[in-house]
Amino acid sequence: MEQTPPAPGQIIILNGAPRSGKSSIAAAIQETFDGVWMNLGVDRSMQATPARYQPGIGLRPGGERPDLEPLVAVLYGALYDAIAAHSRLGLNVVVDVGHHDAYAVPQGILFDSARRLDGLPVLFVGVRCPIEVVMERRRNTGYNAPVPAGALDEVPAPVLRWQREVHIPGIYDLEVDTSILSPAQCAEAIRRRLAGGPAPSAFRRLAAMFVRQD
């Protein structure tokens, strides 16, 4: 007897710079939302990537490793195909990523990623955080230790590049600011957005931009 395919699972993409709070929001979603929520994204992908190809999809803006850029595009394709496969099996997926196109050669990865999720329910969330708060979080987790005396307030160039590049082109269904809202409050804002308002359309619009570039 032929089985009816399950309804596709909801996909939530959390996009923001490192230390913006994406992982904490993903954990809050897993803990509080109904149903099974699988956590995929940059951390899981980097854990699976061989050491000599690190940081994989975590490659920072600035064109620092042009030799890795073609692989990064492939790894993102594999990630988003996996996200799509989970959804088509009825599993909900929350994804924490830091999309940018500031490579030595632009890759158009965000547009291709949107294309790979065509026809699936996707909520694209911009996770924003002021650079002052990002720096404080870095200091609290030892990212600036050791540093020269008097240099604690200096913002490293890679951090500035992340802040500048990660929210381009800025097409989202929802944006949250983790300097104002706790992870639980961000998760609740996402829940409310899923429950009401216009149907999410950001990824559909981004996919259309990919078609125009092709």
Just list the catalytic residues: 43
What is the spatial distance between Cα 44 and Cα 206, in angstroms, rounded to a whole number? 24
CA distances from 166 to 42, 57, 79, 87, 170 (A): 14, 13, 18, 25, 9
Classified as helix, coil or strand, 34 is coil
Binding residues for ATP: 16-23
- Look-up: residue for tokens 């799509």? 84
The single-letter code of the amino acid at 208 is A
- Least Cα distance to 124 among 78, 101, 93 occurs for 93
- Beta-strand runs (E) in the chain: 11-15, 37-41, 92-97, 122-128, 174-177
Task: Identify the DSSP state of 57.
Answer: G
- Look-up: residue for tokens 């989970």? 86
Q: Contact, 40 vs 153, CB < 8 A?
A: no
Cβ neighbour number for residue 167 with a 10 Å cutoff: 20
Classified as helix, coil or strand, 108 is coil
